[in-house]
């Protein structure tokens, strides 16, 4: 099962809309509450990252019985140093992003903690692609 | 403690989620930084914040947090109420400072997470 969502850079009012939709879908599919929470928390942080840093992005969510794989591909400035961006506390967020309650350099570490797989590739001046996978806790 | 009791002891105004007034809350967490809220693993908590915008509601939605108290006389917008009702989140406006809100809740048995 696959779903696609568009995310607009700078549109803070709608940041989280995709994550909200995904939460509803996962609930309908009877995914466990704890898996839903870690997936949507990670996705929300990643979605906020697109709104905060990129011009536009597409979120693709692939749901299987054993895993949820999410690809977030954005057109934006890219990340020059991914290791640095992964460090807790490092942030290039604007004052506007901080006013929204983010921008403390916790997003990427938060995503990593919640997902089982996290891959980031980025090209400066082109954009960033984030792949994240959660293996579902199925009985 | 029931959400209805929280409204009473804080002299607060309930602005969304009146159907969830009987819900029991044991823990509290106070933060204006939503990324900190998104690290929490407990759901059974009330969020105290001065960050009064749509992202505080989204954060509660993603984290399964049932109740938000907006301190320091912040006023909730109609968009926030709409989203909160959709996600069954109770919103309370409170005129107290963050400190007074925390102290009052703690005196009535609401516990810290860590």
Dump pLDDT digits (tens) for B53-96: 999 999 999 999 999 999 999 999 999 999 999 999 999 999 99
The tally of domains found in chain A comes to 1
Structure confidence at residue B43 (pLDDT)? 81
β-pairing verdict for B45-49 and A67-75? unpaired
CB of A33 closer than 8 Å to CB of B64: yes
For residue A46, give the chain B residue with the closest CA: B35
Distances (CA, A) of A22 to A37, A61, A92, A96, B102: 11, 8, 27, 26, 33
Per-residue pLDDT of A85-119, as tens digits, reads 999 999 999 999 999 999 999 999 999 999 999 99
Are residues B61 and A16, on separate chains, in Cβ contact within 8 Å? yes
CA distance linking residue A20 with residue A5, whole number of Å: 11
CA distance linking residue B65 with residue A23, whole number of Å: 14
Confidence of residue B42 (pLDDT cuts 50, 70, 90): confident
Structure confidence at residue B103 (pLDDT)? 98
CB of A128 closer than 8 Å to CB of A120: yes
CB of A69 closer than 8 Å to CB of A62: yes
| The CATH fold of domain B3-112 | 3.40.1390
According to DSSP, residue B65 is labeled -
DSSP conformation letters of A94-117: -HHHHHTT--SS-HHHHHHHH-SE
Residue B55 touches partner A, C-beta closer than 8 Å: yes
Mean of the per-residue pLDDT values of chain B:
96
Q: Is the dihedral of CA A12, A101, A71, A33 positive or negative?
A: negative
Quote helix, strand, coil % in chain B, to nearest 5.
Answer: 40, 20, 40
Structure confidence at residue B102 (pLDDT)? 98
Q: Looking at the predicted structure, is the pLDDT value of residue A139 above 70?
A: no
Structure confidence at residue A37 (pLDDT)? 96
Best CA proximity match to B50, nearest among B101, B110, B87? B101
Q: CA angle A83-A88-A90, nearest 5°? A: 70
By the 10 Å C-beta count (0-12 exposed, 13-18 middle, 19+ buried), B61 is classed as buried
Confidence of residue A19 (pLDDT cuts 50, 70, 90): very high
Per-residue pLDDT of A64-86, as tens digits, reads 999 999 999 999 999 999 999 99
Are residues A44 and B79, on separate chains, in Cβ contact within 8 Å? no
Full domain range(s) for residue A13: 2-135
What is the CATH classification number for the domain harbouring A110?
3.30.565.10
Residue B44 touches partner A, C-beta closer than 8 Å: no
Between positions 11 and 70 of A, the ones with CB within 8 A of B are: 12-13, 15-16, 19-20, 23, 33, 37, 40-41, 44-45, 48
pLDDT (average), residues A28-36: 96
CB of A120 closer than 8 Å to CB of A130: yes
CA distance linking residue B49 with residue B51, whole number of Å: 5
Instruction: Give phi and psi for A78, each to the nearest 5.
Output: 75, 170
Task: Collect all residues of chain B within an 8 Å Cβ-Cβ radius of residue A106.
Answer: 33, 35-36, 38-39
pLDDT (average), residues A38-59: 97
Mean of the per-residue pLDDT values of chain A:
95
Q: What percent of chain A has pLDDT over 90?
A: 96
């Amino acid at each position: 099962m696959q779903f696609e969502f568009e995310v607009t850079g700078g549109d803070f009012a709608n940041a989280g809309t995709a994550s909200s939709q995904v939460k509803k879908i996962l609930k309908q599919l009877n995914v466990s509450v704890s898996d839903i929470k870690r997936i949507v928390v990670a996705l929300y942080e990643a979605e906020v990252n697109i709104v905060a840093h990129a011009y536009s992005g597409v979120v693709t969510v692939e749901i299987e019985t054993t895993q949820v794989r999410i690809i977030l591909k954005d057109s934006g400035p890219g990340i020059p140093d991914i290791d640095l961006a992964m460090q807790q506390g490092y942030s290039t967020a604007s004052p506007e992003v901080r006013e929204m309650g983010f921008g403390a350099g916790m997003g990427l570490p938060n995503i990593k903690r919640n997902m089982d797989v996290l891959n980031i590739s980025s090209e400066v001046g082109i954009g960033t692609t984030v792949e994240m996978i959660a293996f579902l806790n199925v009985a | 403690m029931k959400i209805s009791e929280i409204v009473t002891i804080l002299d607060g105004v309930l602005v969304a989620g009146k159907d969830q007034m009987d819900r029991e809350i044991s823990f509290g967490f106070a933060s204006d930084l939503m990324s900190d809220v998104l690290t929490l693993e407990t759901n059974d908590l009330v969020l105290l914040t001065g960050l009064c915008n749509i992202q505080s509601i989204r954060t509660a939605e993603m984290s399964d947090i049932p109740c938000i108290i907006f301190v320091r006389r912040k006023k909730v917008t109609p968009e926030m109420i709409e989203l909160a009702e959709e996600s069954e989140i109770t919103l309370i406006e409170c005129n107290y400072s963050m400190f007074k809100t925390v102290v009052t809740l703690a005196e009535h048995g609401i516990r810290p997470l860590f």
